[in-house]
Amino acid sequence: METLTKLGQCIDYTYRTREAWIQERIRMNNGDKSNCAVHHVVQHLLTARGPSFAVKHLDEEHVSELMYELEDDKGWAPRTTNKIPIYLGTILTHCWEKGKIKTLPYRKYSKRKIQERRIHWFTKDEVEQFYYASLDPFRRQDLADNVLVAAYTGGRMTEILKLTAKDVDLGQGVIHFGGRPGGHVTKARNWRAIPIEDRIYDIVERRCRENPGRLFPEFTRSEQLRRAFNKVREYLGKDGHYVYHTLRHSFATWLNDKGVPIATIQDLMGHKHIDSTMVYLKVSPHARAAAMANLSEQSPVMTPKFEPVVSPAMVVPDPQVWARFLEFQAFEQARQMALLQAPQLV
């Protein structure tokens, strides 16, 4: 009996032998796309990991990271994201029951609560700890460099691994993700330019000089990078919620803490929809403390005795506070319009 080892093989087998999936494929072939949620999610799974991805790596931690990636990339709501573990569990359980795979990497994947959002990120100090732990005791300069570049550019793992020396413009001080103007760009033409932060400039310059092709040729597959990352994470005592994608989350959190406008963060993250950006905008304890310190520094306004109190409508607001309010108001209007216009995923 043939043993299946790849994700694409298991998906194809399930479509050929599981009755409900057979019927959905028939509807798809007949042009009826009104009730084809399985096909929609499965195609994104194949795009994210590729048909040759080994199913033995689909443990709970990896699936959790995959959910976060697709939620970020596609702007999915948790209700849609939760279909990933459901359909993956169906595929693998079906193949296992039919004797097509030897073992289940995980029998039942955990779903997330509808209102749940990832609240984990690394501080800059923690990223530095990760960098130096990669060097000692692990002696992995490649991983140390990779982690810093990911944290200070907000690049997705696939984007970081595809970076080449041609994507870097040291003269302009930027890194191009998804291609560059005047050259190769992705089919969706969603390239973006990220300024090279001082902390990683020397690393990027050295890697461009030493590697005229890919900047990180040491990692030929994403799973290699994940395993190396997880070893250092465990050494530092971080739990499984801190995955490689957390570096991207940290980048957005640092920007938000510095008061960078939401629209700018959206552009740097490469999000098509601002709702995707809002997932990342968590206020860190450091930002809360800084905000309260700033509040305490403001001198209280004393109302003179026997003088009429000025109506709140007549008070001129602080320009920065007013600007943030207008920005938030514009965001809310854009979000409401997007929700009305965007098709609902079910």
Same domain, 90 and 128: no
Residue 158 lies in a domain: yes
- In this prediction, residue 183 carries a pLDDT of 57
Question: For 218, what's the count of Cα atoms within 13 Å in the CB-facing half-sphere?
Answer: 13
pLDDT at 285 over 90: no
* Mean pLDDT within 187-200: 83
* Mean pLDDT within 172-176: 95
* Number of compact structural domains in the chain: 2
Same domain, 134 and 202: yes
d(CA 58, CA 88): 9
Task: With cut-offs at 50, 70 and 90, classify the pLDDT of residue 291.
Answer: low
Task: With cut-offs at 50, 70 and 90, classify the pLDDT of residue 216.
Answer: very high
Task: With cut-offs at 50, 70 and 90, classify the pLDDT of residue 254.
Answer: very high
Going by DSSP bridges, is the β-strand pair 174-177/168-169 parallel, antiparallel, or unpaired? antiparallel
Using alpha carbons, select from 47, 49, 51 the residue that is nearest to residue 15. 51
Same domain, 85 and 176: no
- In this prediction, residue 340 carries a pLDDT of 58
Query: What whole-number percentage of the chain has pLDDT above 90?
Result: 43
8 A C-beta contact, residue 40 and residue 47: no
Residue 186 lies in a domain: yes
pLDDT digits (tens, 9 = 90+) for 57-74: 888 878 888 887 887 777
Same domain, 71 and 138: no
Whole-prediction pTM value?
Answer: 0.69
- In this prediction, residue 45 carries a pLDDT of 87
Structure tokens at 238: 């971080």
Structure tokens at 258: 């510095």
Residue 15 lies in a domain: yes
Using alpha carbons, select from 166, 168, 121, 136 the residue that is nearest to residue 149. 168
Domain boundary among 231, 248, 265: 248
Q: Give the domain CATH number at 162.
A: 1.10.443.10
- In this prediction, residue 302 carries a pLDDT of 52
Residue 191 lies in a domain: yes
Same domain, 135 and 237: yes
| Residue 276 neighbours by CB distance under 10 Å | 18
Q: How far is Cα of residue 132 from the mean position of the Cα atoms in its chain?
A: 24
Same domain, 235 and 128: yes
Going by DSSP bridges, is the β-strand pair 192-195/174-177 parallel, antiparallel, or unpaired? antiparallel
Residue 138 lies in a domain: yes
- In this prediction, residue 194 carries a pLDDT of 96
Domain boundary among 214, 248, 282: 248
Same domain, 19 and 71: yes
pLDDT at 259 over 80: yes
Residue 53 lies in a domain: yes
Domain boundary among 218, 248, 278: 248
Q: Is-cis flag, bond preceding 181, omega within 30?
A: no
More confident residue, 79 or 10: 10
pLDDT at 172 over 50: yes
Name the range with the highest mean pLDDT among 170-184, 243-257, 302-316. Answer: 243-257
Structure tokens at 271: 């999000």
| Dihedral pair phi/psi, residue 150, rounded to 5° | -65, -45
Phi-psi region of 179 (alpha: psi -120 to 50; beta: other; left: phi over 0): left
Cross-sheet strand order for the sheet of 192-195: 168-169, 174-177, 192-195
Residue 280 lies in a domain: no
Structure tokens at 167: 């994507």
Residue 261 lies in a domain: no
d(CA 153, CA 145): 12
Q: Tell me the residue range of the domain where 36 lies.
A: 7-97
